[in-house]
Amino acid sequence: MMKSPTSKVQRPKSVRAPEKKSAPPLLILISAPSGAGKTTLCDLLLASQPNLTRAITCTTRAPRPGEKDGVDYHFFTAEEFLKRLHAGNFLEHATVYGNSYGILKSELLGKLRAGKDVLLNVDVQGAATIREQAATEPELKRALITIFLTPPSVVVLEERLKKRGADAEAVIQKRLAVARQEIAQWKNFDYLLISGSKQEDLRRTLAIIESEKMRSARSQPPEI
């Protein structure tokens, strides 16, 4: 039957899709023995994940040509660094070749509260300190995941170091001695990542991050 010209067709009311709740941000700590590819993996992660940012380290060393304060490092005087250290501002700190380095708790908390995932690239000793300190900071403890990257064996690591051609044989052997001690700490990390190709390491790390965001303890509960 034809409708009269004056009749109006009832259109269904548009229904707004529920807003997608973003997963809570993560504090992603990656550690590895020297030469295992940790820095390369971190660079690939930062390049592939727009919401991932690195933690900016504080240091007392002088800026190198092209380095900018607040971008490459937070450059502090020795007095300012010591003052902050005594105030308990650092999550982790160390002295290397006479210069002090440290990561501010406020640096991490500020970025996490802004909804950013934060990447930490630290050695095994630094990782142990951060785990211990984060245990007393509920926000950091909730966000922290730790990943240990290592070649399948010390023999493979030795081959990589020699292939790189950056160090003398004596230096390589010293690095390997340290690496053996570091690799023995893998059980203290949430994840063990046996290194393969660069892209495979990246893919598996992204899978870890995705699964961590879906943990029930972190996920937003469904509406019932």
Please state whether beta strands 99-104 and 117-121 pair in parallel, antiparallel, or not at all (unpaired): unpaired
Residue 194 backbone dihedrals phi, psi, to 5 degrees:
-80, 115
- Residue 26's Cβ-count burial label (10 Å; 0-12, 13-18, 19+) is buried
Candidate from 78-82, 138-142, 174-178 with smallest mean pLDDT:
174-178
Q: What percent of the chain has pLDDT over 70?
A: 91
Per-residue pLDDT tens over the stretch 107-152: 999 999 999 999 999 999 999 999 999 999 999 999 999 999 999 9
Q: Are 103 and 127 in contact (CB under 8 A)?
A: no
Cα angle for residues 148, 110, 213 (degrees, 5° grid):
45
Rounded CA separation 138/143 (Å): 9
Q: What is the DSSP letter of 172?
A: H
Look up the pTM and report it: 0.83
What is the pLDDT at residue 17?
47
Per-residue pLDDT tens over the stretch 2-55: 444 444 545 545 445 445 567 889 999 999 988 788 999 999 999 999 999 999
Calculate mean pLDDT across residues 197-223.
Answer: 90
| Residue pointed to by tokens 């009311």 | 13
Q: Where are the beta strands (DSSP E) in 76-173?
A: 90-96, 99-104, 117-121, 144-150
Biggest distance spanned by C-alpha atoms of the chain = 95
Q: Which helix (H) or strand (E) holds 8?
A: none
Q: Are 71 and 57 in contact (CB under 8 A)?
A: no
Q: Is the pLDDT of residue 76 over 80?
A: yes
Among 3.40.720.10, 1.10.10.10, 1.10.357.10, 3.40.50.300, what is the CATH number of 27-213? 3.40.50.300
What is the pLDDT at residue 13?
54
